[in-house]
Amino acid sequence: MRNTLMGRPVDDIDMASQLVPEAVMQALEAASIRAIPTGLEHGTITALVDGQPFEITSLRRDVETDGRRAVVAFTEDWNEDAMRRDFRLNALYATPDGTLFDPTGGGLDDARAGRVIFIGDAEARLREDYLRILRFFRFNAWYGAEIDPVGLQACANLATGLEAIARERIWKELKKLLLAPAPETALEAMNLTDVFAQILPGPVAMDRLHDLRLSEHLVGCAPDPMLRLMALIERSASSIQATSQALRLSNEETARLTMWAADNLPEVTGMRAVELRATLFWHGVQAVSDRAMLSGQDVRDILAAIRAWRRPDFPINGDDALAIGLKGPQIGRALSRVAQDWVASDFSLEREALLARLADVEAPDR
């Protein structure tokens, strides 16, 4: 409903029902529609129609909240279901014929005006689930025309409540925020209210984010939450380690940050073409692209060269080293040294020349 009213793309369709989950399952099965109990304890069933998923959630009311998760009971009262939600624009309903139902009395106006306003008392809503602090900023990044001062103050007052939230949930929410086309206003508000201090281990660099946004526009690339996270944090090993722990990043995400921050990765702006190709070979496309995008320079030509580059295959391998009698650690050392010569030649040395070098490079140690 929200996206439809705001003229935004609708990615999925969520439905609400007065039926309890078991009754929803029975009704779907009776209609020969596949039903998947994706979140039965929370009242959510997924219906698959022609391969398209539709989430159907039974109306709920909160029985108990602890700032992290709610214990719910099912209800047939649409008002009760609406009043447990976070923002007025998220408590809009429509019947199949398009009749709109706005239980809070402000959701429709908020959606049309781009306002993100808590339902009822803002601090009460936050105490029910402190993750709503980040949701407030995320929805402002995506939909808000101007940040509601009452909601902002409530987030500032209760920012320390985020300590109770699992780091994985925080990172999941932050990623959604960082995907917004223009998140600067929301992120700056997070910084001013000390919300960032609760989720990231060091100061954030908003100026680098501004530079990255310009690069995104010039290069024509879609928002990348990892790249935007890099823009916000310090480029150092200690910062990477602390950020990874603070957000419980995956091994893959941590590795990407580590490669971007590597001390032996040179700055790519101003490089000659041969140097760029060598750097791409040793450090990989992702790390070099990340370093370029965060350089604060016009990197359109560099990014075009990176995208056009294809990693060449090293013409020799361990079998060649074994064939000439190299053993154990000699193999790795010899191949590494010859590979350096090959890259330095701009990958022009052919297999025969490399085999000759391989035979020479470990000769004194045999």
State the distance between the two ends of the chain, measured CA to CA, in whole angstroms. 74
**pLDDT tens, position by position, 77-91:** 999 999 999 999 999
Name residue 350's amino acid.
E
Whole-number pLDDT of residue 363: 58
3-state SS, 76-124, equals CCHHHHHHCCCEHHHCCEECCCCCEECCCCCHHHHHHHCCCCECCCHHH
Q: Global pTM?
A: 0.89
Helix (H) or strand (E) holding 209: helix 206-219
Residue 358 and residue 342: Cα distance in Å, rounded? Answer: 11
Give 207-216 contacts, CB < 8 A, sequence gap 24+: 208/232, 208/294, 208/296, 209/184, 210/184, 211/294, 211/296, 212/293, 212/294, 213/182, 213/184, 215/293, 215/294, 215/295, 215/296, 215/298, 215/299, 216/293
Query: Considering only CA atoms, which of 61, 117, 91, 118 is closest in space to residue 1?
Result: 91
Evaluate if residue 366 carries a pLDDT over 50.
no
What is the residue extent of each domain of the chain? 200-311, 318-365
Query: What's phi and psi for 273, nearest 5 deg?
Result: -60, -40
Query: What is the pLDDT confidence band of residue 155, given thresholds at 50, 70 and 90?
Result: very high
DSSP assignments along 144-197, one per residue: -SS--HHHHHHHHHTGGGGGGS-HHHHHHHHHHHHTSSS-HHHHHHHHHTTSHH
Residue 58 DSSP SS3: strand
Whole-number pLDDT of residue 330: 92
DSSP assignments along 238-286, one per residue: HHHHHHHHHHT--HHHHHHHHHHH-TTS---TT--HHHHHHHHHHH-HH
For 6-34, what is the mean pLDDT? 89
For 119-146, what is the mean pLDDT? 96
Rg (CA), the chain: 27
Helices first, then strands: H and E counts in the chain: 20, 8
Q: Report how far apart, in Å, the C-alpha atoms of 207 and of each of 211, 264, 342 are.
A: 6, 25, 40
Residue 24 and residue 215: Cα distance in Å, rounded? Answer: 49
**pLDDT tens, position by position, 114-124:** 999 999 999 99
| 14-17/52-58 β-pairing | parallel
Query: What's phi and psi for 259, nearest 5 deg?
Result: -65, -35
**pLDDT tens, position by position, 275-299:** 999 999 999 999 999 999 999 999 9
Query: What is the pLDDT confidence band of residue 40, given thresholds at 50, 70 and 90?
Result: confident
C-beta neighbour count of 89 within 10 angstroms: 30
**pLDDT tens, position by position, 195-253:** 999 999 989 999 999 999 999 999 999 999 999 999 999 999 999 999 999 999 999 99
Residue 63 DSSP SS3: strand
Residue for token pair 């140690």: 365
